[in-house]
Structure 1
């Protein structure tokens, strides 16, 4: 059995005993589906920190004897994959997790900063998702129009306190777009993170949003489902979490611009699409 060292882990990864199977394997990560249908991620060291994650001292998963469907068990601070691999986290560090609480006192400053950020993204970005400006074909242009229509419907639902519109907005965005986490899901992720970190907005309507996402998220893939459920719990990859934490504290534009650049390195357009959702939700405040 090959033994490797864990470098760090999120505080929820090893807090309970679980078992499961390998759900998916990529070059720098592999996912474990637990018996309770959670997705836990094992990532190589360069990957951003995040919830439900262990990071290991490897540069690629392609050198490890991993196959989809292999049995996984968690014993103490060790993760056992079939009879081929053991990950030892005895010396690993616990990842820092930042609390997200929207500051009502800093609301005007937060809105001013996010307006500046959105203007910058609108001018300078041309990505696959929400900030797209050029289209290689008609299909991509139609896809972008659907994304923008879903965004506008969701915003209108909150502005009008209209539950029917909310259902249409959520349904139209879930699973819409390309990639491992489609653009519509990434937008909803950012939107959910903000709405759930506010304590004095329409909590009943936010609760309905959460319910609709949870009830309908099977329209998209398991990785996106997991990401959306974590967003409801105000949890995300470290760059996104750090950006919101700094934004809510009233940090300088210099700091926020640095955080934005970090987020933009997530996926091909996942980072920018999450930012689109974050900025959309803050504009509604």
Structure 2
């Protein structure tokens, strides 16, 4: 498909995150909103003048605080001819990308607001059953290359899997992180080695932490609060060494904001609807090459930690 077939094409925005809309509303008409940072099949990332990354995505990408979704699944942004550094303008309540693509924000566009309620009390029995459900799911659907090996080795006692070098090292770093939490000596030496470790747009160590922190944002107990407070104090978001997109995702998680598919898994994990849980896992596992699996492992390990320390909530 040639990109020149798309000249002057217009799509409508179907949803947008709060952070995205705040950026759009504060910009004057015919002014540059940002410059393209990276281009993928279903996503265009761009940076504003403060270095914050936002995304324009197809509708098959989940809602997120910094994302605007357009009303199409059949799209490949790579075919439009956009380049890194191309400017994105605000023009008459539209986003204009190089005169090739307009995205209209109208009455049919809606603000995405997460509906997951915070919890202070855990149903240990339900979570234990959901962990068993996840164990089957990761064996059947989990992607290799990231956190899957760590989970199989440490929680399922499966040792007949031949991991790669990255998987082995990642497992060691997660072990160190969890041991530090369990023994109450967490410091930068246990967290920094995880950040930026792994391959891809969002390295596996970062994905694990995003899933882990996202649970602590929803489950509000004395124990979870202490862990999260320690993490927030130790992670210097401006100095960490990772990709721009992953830094933005970590920043959002630390601020208590995360994307739709992650929230759906956490919310499902707190309940007893197995059908909904499996569907939410399926959607999460579809993210990236191993990112969905890595996020899920971070989520489940956080829940395991919380129910294993249930008596510390008082």
Q: TM-score range by the shorter chain?
A: 0.7 to 0.9
1:10–1:94 Cα contact (<8 Å) kept:
yes
CA distance in 2 between counterparts of 1:242 and 1:273 reads 16
* Structure 2 length-normalised TM: 0.79
CA distance in 2 between counterparts of 1:206 and 1:45 reads 32
Change (3 A) 1:234 1:100: farther
Tell me whether 1:258 sits opposite 2:264 in the alignment. no
Q: Which residue is 2:252 aligned to?
A: 230
Q: Which residue is 2:41 aligned to?
A: 27
2:146 to 125, 129, 132: 129
* Structure 1 length-normalised TM: 0.86
Q: Which residue is 2:21 aligned to?
A: 14
User: Structure 1: which 5+ runs fail to align?
Assistant: none
Deviation sequence 1:21-80 (CA, Å, 0-9, x none)? 111111221111012222111112332332211122451213424221112233563213
User: Structure 2: which 5+ runs fail to align?
Assistant: 1-6, 28-32, 150-159, 307-314
Partner of 1:79, secondary structure, is strand
Tell me whether 1:111 sits opposite 2:102 in the alignment. no
2:87–2:98 Cα contact (<8 Å) kept:
yes
Change (3 A) 1:242 1:77: farther
2:130–2:274 Cα contact (<8 Å) kept:
no
Matches within 5 A, 1:264-279: 264-279=285-300
Change (3 A) 1:126 1:15: closer
Matches within 5 A, 1:153-164: 153-164=176-187
Change (3 A) 1:152 1:118: farther
Change (3 A) 1:193 1:72: same
Deviation sequence 1:191-218 (CA, Å, 0-9, x none)? 1101222322343441231233343663
Q: Which residue is 2:94 aligned to?
A: 78
Change (3 A) 1:216 1:39: closer
1:192 to 213, 220, 237: 213
User: Which protein has the larger Cα radius of gyration, Structure 1 or Structure 2?
Assistant: 2
